[in-house]
Amino acid sequence: MRPNDHPTTVGLVQTRYFTFAEDEPFRLESGASLSPVTLAYETYGTLNRDRSNAILILHALSGSAHAAGRHHPDDPKPGWWDDCIGPGKAFDTERFFVISSNVIGSCYGSTGPASIDPTTGKPYGLRFPVVTIGDMVNAQVRLLDHLGIDTLLCAAGGSMGGMQVLEWAAHHSHRLRAAIPIATTAHHSPMLIAFSEVGRQAIYADPNWNRGDYYDRAVKPDAGLAVARMVGHITYLSERSMQQKFGRRLQGRERYGYEFQTEFEVESYLKYNGSKFTRRFDANSYLYITKAMDYFDLAARHGTLAAAFEQAQHIKFLVISFTSDWLYPSYHSKELVAALTAAGCDVTYLDIESSWGHDAFLLEVDTMTRLLSSFLDRLADETH
């Protein structure tokens, strides 16, 4: 890590909003369209004179534009990747202009199912069109145009954020110098689609979901969303990390109660996280975003995965996976690396030893800082 004799936080930040497609609808890959479209975004650091130091950070399923810093002094928590964004950190805001935007379909300020449909004056609900990873990235392209940035120094993200990185590299390669897909995949396996569907079915089964038309009701489909989150959260961990954190310990008791109550620590943890999730996320957004992840498949669109990156030979790739990640196991990244190599791309691959499972890209801070800093140092040196 770099010397920390200076502030290591970006400080107080503000979410901004960019609205487009007010006159001409934004065409989606499904053939449907949206008008208007708003993207919530934040920026950290300063864009240099030749606009060559911009890095786009791309979030996972439940992420937001708020990736670093705090919105006000009393914020209990900083942005979701604050450990890696700031002065002297992996994405050094003393050198780079970092952009983070919320994807369309989400519920943190960008247009999604909870947004007002201008044709009805009511929230879209299921009238919101299905969106894809490609649609999310095409909206980000509009944001870069708005910011006056022709070419990104780098796009980086983990999980669904990594899918967006791959979409950038495959279909907007002329606007990208480097790509860092972390703990991700080029397509969901049947098992991953199955996990997504269990979460969606939990929401559908909640009587308060009302086929997505619940925004004017006092009671939301929180029970279904909480179960969906509990299922998803299990996949973010690893058996080893769960054993270390919980074991078979009981919560608040010394012996089994022989009843259908929460008894084990791991049960209590999942219930707590499921309940907490309902206070910050929208059930319909969960449906739309998981569906977008399931649809993502670069190989199917191009015939082979290598063919998807034929125009990306000038891009430098840093592909990162984690040994205990069973949501996107290392073999997903190895398949990606093989395809990039076959396409003639410059690719570095790191499979990091970690016990944290899929969440390692958020938790292995020292390792991530060292590796990302080294890669970005070389990239910046070659750029100038």
How do residues 158-183 score in pLDDT, each as one tens digit? 999 999 999 999 999 999 999 999 99
The count of domains in the chain is 2
Within a domain: 39: yes
Instruction: Return the structure tokens found at 125.
Output: 């609900």
Q: What contacts 73, CB < 8 A, 6 or more positions away?
A: 12
Is there a single domain that holds both residue 78 and residue 225? no
Q: Predicted confidence band at 5 (pLDDT cuts at 50, 70, 90)?
A: very low
Residues 358 and 343 in one domain: yes
Q: Tell me, yes or no, whether 7 lies in a domain.
A: no
| Whole-number average pLDDT of the chain | 95
Sign, Cα dihedral of 51, 158, 75, 105: positive
Residues 65, 85 share a domain: yes
pLDDT of 184-236, one tens digit each? Answer: 999 999 999 999 999 999 999 999 999 999 999 999 999 999 999 999 999 99
pLDDT given for residue 4 in this prediction: 40
Q: What is the pLDDT of residue 380?
A: 81
Q: Over the stretch 258-294, which tens digit does the pLDDT of each residue have?
A: 999 999 999 999 999 999 999 999 999 999 999 999 9
In a domain, 276, yes or no: yes
> 250: domain range?
193-287
Whether 210 and 316 share a structural domain: no
Do 147 and 241 lie in one domain? The reply is no
Of 268, 287, 306, the residue that ends a domain is 287
Q: What is the mean pLDDT of residues 248-266?
A: 94
Q: Which of 99, 164, 108, 109 is nearest to 138 (CA)?
A: 164
- Whether residue 2 lies inside any domain: the answer is no
- Structural domain includes residue 336: yes
Binning pLDDT at 50, 70 and 90, where does residue 7 land? Answer: low
Q: Is the pLDDT reported for residue 384 higher than 70?
A: no
Task: Name the domain boundary from 246, 269, 287.
Answer: 287
CA distance 293 to 118: 27
- Claim to verify: residue 128 and residue 169 sit in the same structural domain: yes
Q: What CATH number should be reported for the domain holding residue 67?
A: 3.40.50.1820
Taking Cα atoms as reference points, which of 170, 222, 162, 159 lies closest to residue 196? 159
Global confidence as pTM: 0.96
Measured CA to CA, the distance from residue 16 to residue 37 in angstroms comes to 14
CA dihedral sign of residues 83, 334, 171, 39: negative
> Is there a single domain that holds both residue 219 and residue 365?
no
Instruction: List active site positions.
Output: 159, 325, 358
Boundary residue ending a domain (220, 252, 287): 287
Query: Does residue 280 share a domain with residue 224?
Result: yes
For residue 340, give every residue at least 6 positions away whose Cβ sits within 8 Å of its Cβ, in sequence order, or none.
306, 309, 312, 317, 319, 347
d(CA 289, CA 295) in angstroms, rounded, equals: 10
Question: Are both 343 and 364 inside the same structural domain?
Answer: yes
H/E stretch holding 16 reads: strand 16-20
Does residue 96 fall inside a structural domain? Answer: yes
